[in-house]
Structure 1
Amino acid sequence: MRTTRRRSLAAVAAAALLSPMALTTAPALADTGATVVYSEGAKWETGYSAQFTINNPGPAALDDWTVRFTLPSGASVGSLWNATLAESGGVYTLTPPSWGASVPAGGSYSIGFNGVGGSGGTTPETCTINDAPCDGSPGEPDTEAPTAPGGPESTAQTSGSVTLAWTASTDDTGVAGYEVLDADDQVVRNVVGTATTATVGGLTADTEYTFRVRAYDAAGNKSAPSAPVTVRTAEDDGENPDPVGDERRVGYFTQWGIYDRGFLVDNLDDNGTASKLTHINYAFANINTNGECFLVNQAGQGDAWADYGRSFTADQSVDGVGDAWDQDLRGNFNQLRELKEKYPDLRVNISIGGWTWSENFSDAVLTAESRERLVDSCVDMYLRGNLPVFDGAGGPGSAYGVFDGIDLDWEWPASEGYEENTVRPEDRENFTAVVDLFREKLDALGAETGRDYTLSSFMPADPEKVDLGYEVPQLMEDFDFITVQGYDYHGGWEGNTNHQSNITQVPGDPGPRTFSSEIALEAWVSRGADPADIVFGVPYYGRGWTGVAPGPNGDGLFQAATGPAPGPYEAGIDDFKNLKNLSGYTLHRDAGTAWLYNGSTFWQFDDAVSMTEKVDWAQSQGLGGIMIWSLDGDDSSGTLINAIDSALAD
């Protein structure tokens, strides 16, 4: 993986919006020097989110650690990630997960969980790490608070954010972090560690805000607040929306979404999505039996009308101007071009393949000659501007500026996918070879045009498919990033209900195979992928079953079903925007997911709460961003993209 575009989410993971709580401690052991900071985030009617951050100040990595804690009566742990959890007699024990989790020397490691209940309090009553007090005290609780921070002052403002800086506090045992408070003394930003700057996002343009800052130590002692600072955000003229930052937010726009779903490129502007994305992948380009990229072949495959033929009216167009009958580029491509003009930091890539259009990939990469033909055809058509509709207006760097790179979506090399796909054992090394050739051709084109072209790929969650189809270390040298499937772990094709996008493994999972986001991530990291180069996928849709009996817990989970639930587009699938409005269902949560059940029909899906949990988990793993399949599943208010954006900004 080329490092010029690499940015880990670890840098923002420490800034999760959490409020630290004090800990009581057990007798000390002074051999590791490690401490644990407990903090809390969002709360809802039946629970809350929380986090333990293990800090290792020592000169050697902490490979073996055990954190034990107890909670007040009425509070319990519902789901947890980044550790193995055991409970006995009200004592919770956390140990490294199955793949190991070494806390680096001078570094930290975060464990997140969702608590249940807590009306009588949620702060752990005891906490130890390797039998030593979590706050690092020598046996007596630390009760001395840090000094108040100096300042703060505003160092930068945009129409939606304010950046603050302050003078560091001091403490007898060391400052563990800082909270930024609003005018109502509510925590709006938390900085774990010694950094003395923070950006508060989600603000309204041309509006005054007042902030103060206070420090806390590992024992949860809080300083007095700093002096207040009042800041006005910048005006927003709406012409040049602020870029979202360096983290990757990748969304798939489906060619066919403009039909039954009625989701147009203009909707990305209307619901605020476009301003919160870094990349759009347009799905999908096809490969013909000659091993070349094409728009429409002789068999009628493809949809040139949607791609560049359909005329959009003024109220359907990004720029508010209707298409003329004689303009040379219309359709989704022209709308994407208009969207990029409005959001100049947005990159649009053409995604090649997909589930049903991967059938000719194996033939296309079989020989050096066929690989050359495939790569040249794709680069010429989508990046050089030699689309048939352009009528000779092509040339290096033209293509009307629609596309900025290539996204490969071969499902799957050397593994079964769509029933008509060709599968060969040599797909594995041939995929490596064609990726290397794409990289070479894109770099050469970039040298010609002065542009920088992206190369990415959609990858499976199944460890078996990873082993069969991918030479991970070699591939990662050529990709700017990869997106890993974080959904479709289970579905209506199976005879029992299950989760399709759970973060952690869930006890009692009937299979037929156990999947989770932790398993998917471990499959790539353990085989040589840098977490910072992985953009993890989240679904904007749910999967459902019908004919489901309540089961022993009454929630329908892991119960036999008679088949997939009816869906508006296909059986067993429905979009978030529809599922959120279902009535007569009870909402349940576990393992970073949500599900709805009414006594006979079961829908597993993601809403704003579970989407935030997924982003928080991705941040805790140091991943390179979030990918969305697919953008047409959100509602007109952008509920899901707003949840993702807020969590990434924290």
Structure 2
Amino acid sequence: MRSPRVTRLTRRISAIVAALALPLAAMVGLAPEAHAAGATATYTKVSDWGTGFEGKWTIKNTGTTAISSWTVSWTYPSDTRVTSAWDAIVTSSGTTWTAKNAGWNGTLAPGASISFGFNGSGPGAPSGCTVNGGGCDGGDGGQPGDAKPSAPGTPTASNITNTSVTLSWAAATDDKGIKNYDVIRNGSTVATVTGTSYTNTGLTAGSTYTYEIRARDTADQTGPLSGPRTVTTTGGNQGGGGKVKLGYFAEWGVYARNYHVKNLVSSGSAGKITHINYAFGNVTGGRCAMGDSYAAIDKAYTADQSVDGVADTWDQPLRGNFNQLKKLKAQYPNIKILWSFGGWTWSGGFGQAMQNPAAFAQSCYDLVNDSRWAGLFDGIDLDWEYPNACGLSCDTSGSAVMRTMMQAFRAKFGSQLVTAAITADASSGGKLDLADYGGAAQYVDFYNVMTYDFFGAWDAQGPTAVHSPLTGYTGIPIESFNSDSAIQKLRAKGVPAAKLNLGIPFYGRGWTGVTQDAPGGSATGPATGIEPGNQDYKVLKTQCPVTGTVAGTAYAHCGTNWWSYDTPSTIAGKMNYVKNQGLGGAFFWEFSGDTTNGELVSAINTGLN
């Protein structure tokens, strides 16, 4: 600890030196500290756990002389705030937040950097950043009266073709006037234009691009980015061209099931699919929300676990499944990835969300196209089990709710993919009759018809029945509970065949206490599996080999256990059905049930080629 006497003496000497130096400074003109070209400040959102987030600012000395102190200021919307900070002293005045260096980290040599971090709450992003009074991008803009340009309006997209798109946006404002706009595609500037529109050519058919616009004023100061606009060019293989081959990737599979994005590559499956549904996001509080943010964006991967063989670092802005999927997409650019919301467990929030369809769609759009993973997702899948019917919980929104929901999402998502997983209950007055799937079809790219789980050990005493029958058969417990009945009912309701994908389970349903080989036997309860009455194909193929087939689906009786499941052979038959009926394609739940060499994915791919 320094002596108070020494401190006072030091301050007195400093004051004398400053007073003596002032006349000389006055003769040559007082120059402000080199701030404009001398320092930059870059913001990173390190993580987001739904109710809060971790942010980080990195200050870099880009000048040629040392900086002895630094101050970073920025503005947050009124609903966003800093709750705690480290390595800086952070204060606020209204919506303006100011961070000053701590006593030990103020000095920065030329080229050196320093970071400070903080926790915050709220959904907003920082704007109007200055460092030592100048623009955080290193441009002039910190002097009084030199306001930076405002953000341009979020661009709209029109005239979308296989290879081009026209973007238009509302003009930015600035006290000196706007000189031009940078058009930024997937994080890189592709053009600088003087007007408020731009046609980007030379694109790839069936590919997704995310655009942002940034204004420059006549002093060449840059303002904040506009909101993002994600566009998918026409053509390619995205539901209307070649057959859909879609698989669900379960977010939680990275834990006990030890199934990761890299498994899609090592199994050979990545080269045999067209779409991935990432399952699941939550629907809660009237909004779309993340499911498991740790698995999605924070889980670190070592080099041997990573798709591209590059390990995650502790300070990179995006990790987890989303980063791995971005790497996968870089290697397999034809794959379309959708974020699926709801599912059996999280469908209960749809009814509340649909009290304000536009706000619901907006929340989902903002999350799917969040700047942290911009360009990853090609659209959204809505897995509501079930509108105006009962699943884990019951909904009474009315039959029009499905049509209203899909209309709202199409209006918001524009050219991005909008799909839905829907019931296959074709019984008279059943779930397909309780919501307007026909009216909603005009707004969707395709429906994934869940043609599985027709029967299972929730009926503990049986009778045993194949859970994914392609057609009816003699002795089936409920005649209309089969895939063909669901497909034909949807077609009769006006849904085009090309918008219907047939569902394939990569797991079996089974009972125990069964003595009869053929379907229709009695049972005493569910067979043991990954959960009662449920087991992966990769296990069943050797643990309980096929005994026979009925209605295009295999069944197996081993000991007292009885299972039904699909095999490469039964999948081949179902793919023939897809082609003969002119359906859009097939989808399956889910990748981790397949063998390590992707037998079932290969069967779907071969059957639809």
- TM-score w.r.t. length of structure 2: 0.59
Partner of 2:377: 403
Specify which of 409, 413, 420 is matched with residue 438 of structure 1: 409
Partner of 2:276: 280
Q: Which has the higher contact order (CA 8 A, sep 6+)?
A: 1
Per the alignment, in what secondary structure is the counterpart of residue 542 of structure 2?
coil
Residues 354 and 539 of structure 1: CA distance in aligned 2, closer, same or farther (over 3 Å): same
- Counterparts of 2:481 and 2:593, CA distance in 1: 23
Shift of 1:647: 1.1
Instruction: Say yes or no: does 1:379 pair with 2:365.
Output: yes
Per the alignment, in what secondary structure is the counterpart of residue 549 of structure 2?
strand
- Counterparts of 1:514 and 1:499, CA distance in 2: 13
- Counterparts of 1:608 and 1:636, CA distance in 2: 14
Deviations 1:448-488 (A, max 9, x none): xxxx4100000111024444442233211100111101110
- Counterparts of 2:310 and 2:332, CA distance in 1: 17
Unaligned runs of 5+ in 1: 1-241, 296-301, 391-398, 444-451
- Counterparts of 2:493 and 2:598, CA distance in 1: 36
Shift of 1:243: 8.0
CA contact (8 A) 1:287 1:353 kept: yes
Amino acid at match of 2:531: E
Q: How does 1:292-311 map to 2 (within 5 A)?
A: 292-295=287-290, 302-311=291-300
Amino acid at match of 2:361: V
CA contact (8 A) 2:307 2:324 kept: yes
Shift of 1:599: 3.9
- Counterparts of 2:319 and 2:556, CA distance in 1: 41
Q: How does 1:226-305 map to 2 (within 5 A)?
A: 246-288=242-284, 290-295=285-290, 302-305=291-294
CA contact (8 A) 1:531 1:624 kept: yes
Unaligned runs of 5+ in 2: 1-235
Amino acid at match of 1:376: Q
- Counterparts of 1:457 and 1:586, CA distance in 2: 32
Partner of 2:423: 460
- Counterparts of 2:425 and 2:278, CA distance in 1: 24
Deviations 1:56-101 (A, max 9, x none): xxxxxxxxxxxxxxxxxxxxxxxxxxxxxxxxxxxxxxxxxxxxxx
Percent of aligned pairs with the same residue? 38
Partner of 1:123: none
Specify which of 512, 521, 544 is matched with residue 559 of structure 1: 521
Instruction: Say yes or no: does 1:475 pair with 2:440.
Output: yes
Instruction: Say yes or no: does 1:590 pair with 2:550.
Output: yes
Specify which of 481, 494, 511 is matched with residue 528 of structure 1: 494
CA contact (8 A) 2:351 2:397 kept: no
Partner of 1:639: 599
Partner of 1:336: 325
Per the alignment, in what secondary structure is the counterpart of residue 443 of structure 2?
coil
CA contact (8 A) 1:586 1:598 kept: no
Deviations 1:238-273 (A, max 9, x none): xxxx98982111111000111121111110011111
Amino acid at match of 2:262: D
CA contact (8 A) 1:456 1:479 kept: yes
CA RMSD of aligned residues (A): 1.8
Per the alignment, in what secondary structure is the counterpart of residue 340 of structure 1?
helix
CA contact (8 A) 2:388 2:397 kept: yes
- Counterparts of 1:586 and 1:271, CA distance in 2: 23
Partner of 1:506: 473
- Counterparts of 1:586 and 1:329, CA distance in 2: 44
Shift of 1:586: 5.4
Amino acid at match of 2:592: D
Partner of 2:179: none
CA contact (8 A) 1:543 1:572 kept: yes
CA contact (8 A) 1:556 1:602 kept: no
CA contact (8 A) 1:279 1:347 kept: yes
Partner of 2:396: 424
Residues 376 and 525 of structure 1: CA distance in aligned 2, closer, same or farther (over 3 Å): same
CA contact (8 A) 1:243 1:276 kept: no
CA contact (8 A) 1:458 1:485 kept: yes
Residues 614 and 512 of structure 1: CA distance in aligned 2, closer, same or farther (over 3 Å): closer
Partner of 1:42: none
Count the aligned residue pairs. 368
- Counterparts of 1:314 and 1:513, CA distance in 2: 52
CA contact (8 A) 2:556 2:564 kept: yes
Per the alignment, in what secondary structure is the counterpart of residue 580 of structure 1?
helix
Higher CA-based Rg:
2
- Counterparts of 1:265 and 1:252, CA distance in 2: 11
- Counterparts of 2:251 and 2:288, CA distance in 1: 16
Specify which of 554, 561, 570 is matched with residue 601 of structure 1: 561
- Counterparts of 1:275 and 1:625, CA distance in 2: 16
Partner of 1:617: 577
Instruction: Say yes or no: does 1:326 pair with 2:277.
Output: no
CA contact (8 A) 1:349 1:404 kept: yes
- Counterparts of 2:435 and 2:573, CA distance in 1: 29
- TM-score w.r.t. length of structure 1: 0.55
- Counterparts of 1:472 and 1:412, CA distance in 2: 11
Amino acid at match of 1:508: G
Q: How does 1:128-143 map to 2 (within 5 A)?
A: none
Shift of 1:400: 3.2
Shift of 1:513: 5.8
Amino acid at match of 1:330: R
CA contact (8 A) 2:237 2:243 kept: no
Deviations 1:586-611 (A, max 9, x none): 52112111111124110101111011
Partner of 1:486: 451
Residues 352 and 469 of structure 1: CA distance in aligned 2, closer, same or farther (over 3 Å): farther
Shift of 1:423: 1.2
Amino acid at match of 1:283: A
CA contact (8 A) 1:546 1:562 kept: yes
- Counterparts of 1:634 and 1:272, CA distance in 2: 11
